Amino acid sequence: MAKKIRSLLYALIVLHLLWWLAAVIVNRPILPAPTVVYALLPSLLTQMGWHIYFSLYRLFWSLLWAMVIGTLTGIIIVRFPRVGAWVDPLVYFTYPIPKIALLPVVMLLMGLGDASKITMITLIVVFQVIITVRDYVAAIPESIYQSLNILNATRFERFRYVTWPASLSGIISAFRLALGTAIATLFFTEVYGTQFGLGYFIMDAWYRLDYPAMYGGIIVISLVAFILFGLLNLAERYLVKWQK
């Protein structure tokens, strides 16, 4: 743990030194020094409360829907082959489609509010969850299920004692991938049809040429992402102890 903290501090120091050096070289308002941005950050945080809330709200519901739908679909594809024979090709052909191109369609159908943003993020990340969970479940040796069949285990018991524990690591990995993609998509969706959200705050500061506020928003959204990934790592450490 101490080693990870030292590595993190080292990375932060190097990153800020590079930022400071770039600010000195550019020497223009478009790239303020870290000291300028951090001096402004306390006052920015008082303005960003609702922006942070709405971004977290959209992230929570989009990730919840993506994880529930993606996890169930990934498991069903493998454990119910007849259903999977229909669903798997559909996932295969629709996964490469750039879902962000459907944003105008989603907004036309669902309006400019939170529903369209949550739907868009869910639509983009759910396929990552499906594929990751499907591959982890498919990697479970069939011999384990055969052993349980000899013991007359029910379908629910096979799921509880084999499928779920064995796929839990894959579910967490899928969540990690989904989280990174969801945050990137969140920024894009919050540019349109809203006055709240970290994406809106950053772009609004850019439009107003308020570059210190823009970089402050970038720092805040990065910090939110870092905290969420840290919480996910703690959850993984607790839920899949047998991998340590």
> Do residue 148 and residue 64 come from a single domain?
yes
Mean pLDDT computed over 146-152: 73
Looking at every residue in the chain, the average pLDDT score rounds to: 84
Do 17 and 81 belong to one domain? no
Averaged pLDDT for residues 19-30: 89
Contact assessment for residue 128 and residue 181, using Cβ atoms and an 8 Å cutoff: yes
55 lies in the same domain as 110: yes
Q: Are residues 162 and 234 in the same domain?
A: yes
> Does 86 share its domain with 15?
no
CA 131 – CA 74 distance, rounded (Å): 6
- Our count of domains for the chain comes to 2
The yes-or-no verdict on residue 184 having pLDDT over 90 is no
95-104, 142-151, 180-189, range with greatest mean pLDDT: 180-189
**Torsion from C-alpha of 230, 57, 220, 45, nearest 10 degrees:** -130
Tell me what pLDDT residue 214 has.
Answer: 92
- Of 96 and 202, the structure prediction assigns the larger pLDDT to 202
The pLDDT tens digits for 68-87 are 999 999 888 888 888 888 88
Residue predicted with more confidence, 137 or 239:
137
CA distance 170 to 89: 21
* Whether the predicted pLDDT of 36 surpasses 70: yes
Query: Which pTM value belongs to this model?
Result: 0.82
Higher pLDDT, 191 or 76: 76
- Judgement on whether residues 136 and 200 belong to the same structural domain of the protein: yes
pLDDT of residue 62: 93
Do 149 and 229 lie in a common domain? yes
Residues ≥6 apart with Cβ < 8 Å to 158: 145, 148, 149
Please, which pLDDT band fits residue 169 given cuts at 50, 70 and 90?
confident
Q: Could you tell me the CATH number of the domain that includes residue 226?
A: 1.10.3720.10
Residue 141 DSSP SS3:
coil
Q: What distances in angstroms separate CA 28 from CA 24, 211, 213, one per listed residue?
A: 8, 10, 15
Domain that holds residue 2: 1-31
